A and B are shown apart, each in its own frame.
Chain A
């Protein structure tokens, strides 16, 4: 571990089943590590303060905000980003397909976070009703206000969604 504030900390992450070993400034958020160190820019930086949900990823299968966690704290963890959802043959994850089918976005900036959060929401068992979907998705803001279509997409994908 780093004794001096400037010291880089070696960190192992598995991202979308690929192992990475990174020497990180401890200040690097998991979000910045994914985007700037690994080059996976599908995860978006919205507010960078845990208020918008655009940076949502799965860590060990659980949805979290990658902006609110230092990457070094995730040493040894298994991270899934939007880039890791489609099958190797290119078949979309049912949640991705549902977002397309229901036109559940306009500008698209919040979409990767919405999809990752939606998968978490379904896996947690909180997508039984529209009201429940809205409540458990309230940490993901869409300033284009595509909310009705997002709810419809989650409803469609709910039963088809496999655990990732």
Chain B
């Protein structure tokens, strides 16, 4: 591992200042010589692999700003402090009862130990598990811009069928992000110019011509909180995750669903898809298909078809089109049938 120096600021403002001092022009957040570290479950892994080579690590775990380690649930919604651990959030009684989609998306992720360590803000910024990205001897446009994409003609079973480009088809693997994008979450950021809020749906960038740029954040932008606006009907919400193993595996396909029902008729719906896209993926097409309709087999089939209408499968991941549709259909019915 490349040597690095280490610092442990006591506030978010100090952390941002520390990062700003070492930001270098022309570096994207992933390639920046200065990196924030919280739980470390993603960063240490990629540093050991040589994928990330920071010269300085800023340990943000001891920042003292109010609310960084707290979950606040009110009539306005939820505020998750950036340093809240996944396990804390999944166990929160009000989140389990009022926003089951969030609790489930966390509980089905990673392992018990990792969820005890990983911060929520780090979780949403987790980097892809694309095998060619992780192994530094392969060409990879995300890791080494312009070197080519090994997955395109390689073994691409895990890769994305939505939101890809000719340069990159690496999957965004997170689960929590799917519930956040479905619930219209926002992130609170502190940067060198002060605080700002950003819709979660605008945080991640599709790869396009620049897969090395994964978010709209600058290297010295720090997420300090995640807000989820109140949505009373999110009581009827559910996260379904389909994977090779029953536990401790990334999704091959997942669906985050919330339904506002009047009897069997859908008044409103929120749908996001995991394991199939390059970024957290909201399917407004599927949502629109369902509105003001009875949620029966035909409606669910149509919604699923709409969700994957633009899918671009490759040699080994074509199965994800059908798997993704079936995952969504099952999630819709399981959500409809919830006793709330």
Residues of A bordering B, CB below 8 Å: 1-7, 9, 25-27, 29, 48-50, 53, 56, 62-65, 67-70, 72-73, 75, 117, 120-121, 124, 126, 134-140
Taking CB as reference atom, which chain A residue is nearest B112? A136
Which residues of chain B are within 8 angstroms of A26 by Cβ–Cβ distance?
3-6, 57
User: Is the beta-carbon distance between B44 and A1 smaller than 8 angstroms?
Assistant: no
A164 to chain B, nearest CB (A): 15
Which residues of chain A are within 8 angstroms of B39 by Cβ–Cβ distance?
68
Which residues of chain A are within 8 angstroms of B137 by Cβ–Cβ distance?
none
User: Is the beta-carbon distance between A49 and B45 smaller than 8 angstroms?
Assistant: yes
User: Is the beta-carbon distance between B45 and A50 smaller than 8 angstroms?
Assistant: yes
- Quick one: given A7-B5, A70-B6, are A135 and B55 in contact (CB under 8 Å)? no
Identify which of A2, A49, A72, A138 contacts B111 (C-beta below 8 A).
A138
- Quick one: given A68-B41, A139-B248, are A117 and B113 in contact (CB under 8 Å)? yes
Taking CB as reference atom, which chain A residue is nearest B111? A139
Taking CB as reference atom, which chain B residue is nearest A1? B7
B128 to chain A, nearest CB (A): 15
Smallest CB-CB A-B distances: 5 pairs: A139-B111, A138-B247, A5-B3, A138-B248, A26-B6
- Quick one: given A26-B4, A70-B6, are A139 and B41 in contact (CB under 8 Å)? no
User: Is the beta-carbon distance between A50 and B5 smaller than 8 angstroms?
Assistant: no
Which residues of chain A are within 8 angstroms of B112 by Cβ–Cβ distance?
63, 117, 120-121, 124, 126, 136-139
Measured in the bound complex, the distance between the Cα atoms of B6 and A20 in whole Å is: 20
Measured in the bound complex, the distance between the Cα atoms of B49 and A134 in whole Å is: 30
Bin the interface of chain B by size.
Answer: 20 to 34
User: Is the beta-carbon distance between A73 and B111 smaller than 8 angstroms?
Assistant: no
Which residues of chain B are within 8 angstroms of A27 by Cβ–Cβ distance?
1, 3-4
B8 close to A (CB within 8 Å): yes
Q: How many A-B residue pairs have CB under 8 A?
A: 99
A54 to chain B, nearest CB (A): 11
Which residues of chain A are within 8 angstroms of B49 by Cβ–Cβ distance?
49
Which residues of chain A are within 8 angstroms of B64 by Cβ–Cβ distance?
none
Query: Hey, what's the 0/1 contact readout for B210-239 against A, CB within 8 Å counting as 1?
Result: 000000000000000000000000000000
Beyond A1-B8, A63-B113, A139-B114: 9 further Cβ-contacts under 8 Å? A26-B5, A26-B57, A63-B116, A65-B41, A65-B117, A68-B41, A69-B40, A73-B37, A138-B245
B38 to chain A, nearest CB (A): 9
Query: Hey, what's the 0/1 contact readout for B8-28 against A, CB within 8 Å counting as 1?
Result: 100000000000000000000
Can you list 20 A-B contacts with CB-CB less than 8 angstroms, sorted by A residue number? A1-B5, A2-B5, A3-B5, A5-B4, A5-B55, A27-B1, A50-B114, A62-B116, A68-B45, A69-B40, A69-B44, A69-B117, A70-B57, A72-B6, A73-B61, A126-B112, A134-B247, A138-B245, A138-B248, A140-B111
Which residues of chain B are within 8 angstroms of A48 by Cβ–Cβ distance?
48
Measured in the bound complex, the distance between the Cα atoms of B44 and A2 in whole Å is: 18
A46 to chain B, nearest CB (A): 13
Measured in the bound complex, the distance between the Cα atoms of B40 and A109 in whole Å is: 24
- Quick one: given A63-B116, A135-B247, A138-B248, are A6 and B40 in contact (CB under 8 Å)? no
B215 to chain A, nearest CB (A): 22
User: Is the beta-carbon distance between A5 and B113 smaller than 8 angstroms?
Assistant: no
